[in-house]
Amino acid sequence: MNRNLFDVKDRVIVITGGMGQLGRQFTSSLCEAGAKVAIFDIHIENTIFQESFQTYFSKGMVLPVVVDITNRESIETGLRKVIKQWGVPFGLVNNAAIDSPPKTSLTENGPFEQYPESSFERIMEVNVKGVVLCCQIIGGEMATNNRGSIINISSIYGIVSPDQRVYEYRKNKETPFFKPVSYSVSKSALLNLTRYLATYWADNNVRVNTLTFGGVYNNQDEEFLKEYYVRVPLGRMAYEDEYNGAIQFLLSDASSYMTGSNLVIDGGWTAW
């Protein structure tokens, strides 16, 4: 039978954090391929939404839903809206996450020994609990329907330690920076959540995989980019559209025998 293994036409996909830099890319790319995408995001700014998705929205291919992924009732309400509009989702992309970027305060990005408990709890609340809840509620409905694919978005800092030398140039400035422990711990947690659910839902034909990314170019300062680039065999950060193909692959039948795996796309960062 001659068919397109990468076809996602008419598949209903939920993307958490769909208004973020990568979330917007995933949404547009999947809609372009014919999927129907429900954006779950705690903030859906109308101007950005209109600029990014107006064409797809007018065609009935995008559904914006304000959802707090740390709140069970909010996720359940969002899922009901999706089911009412399109039916039970086929795919779930757990993309929503928070971090402490270099521009935040020293309280957030200081030495490990002084890292605040409140900051750790805030990161874990979104990056781990939020993913677990979405899997329980949305993934559970998919399992009841006996088909689907879940993608948990992780980071290279979930499989290797952050290279703090990348940030040493900040020591000569007024605001030194240490990559916080919470982001790494939260992203590594997703690796075993993936393996757990891949085996747990195997009989329900729900596949669960991790997609591990390297850094994405977003107008970072030149000193940071210089330090980052020398540690990547390909010599650069990812462009924001370079992960779209992997998303479509894992949501399509091209990956039908793939579950419990971790697909790493990092320009070679973890090869050294």
Q: Tell me the pLDDT tens digit for each residue of 162-183.
A: 999 998 888 776 677 899 999 9
Structure tokens at 235: 């010599």
In the predicted structure, residue 13 carries a pLDDT above the cut 80: yes
pLDDT digits (tens, 9 = 90+) for 82-136: 999 999 999 999 999 999 766 677 778 888 999 999 999 999 999 999 999 999 9
Q: What is the structure's pLDDT at 193?
A: 98
Q: Give residue 102's pLDDT.
A: 62
Q: Which residue ranges make up each domain of the chain?
A: 12-263
For 12-263, CATH number?
3.40.50.720
For residue 63, pLDDT beyond 60: yes
CA distance 18 to 40: 6
Residues in the chain: 272
pTM above 0.85, yes or no: yes
Give φ, ψ of 242 to 5 degrees: -80, -5
The pairing of beta strand 36-41 with beta strand 91-94: unpaired
Residue 51 in this model has a pLDDT that exceeds 70: yes
Beta bridge partners of 62: 37
Q: How confident is the model at residue 208 (pLDDT cuts 50, 70, 90)?
A: very high
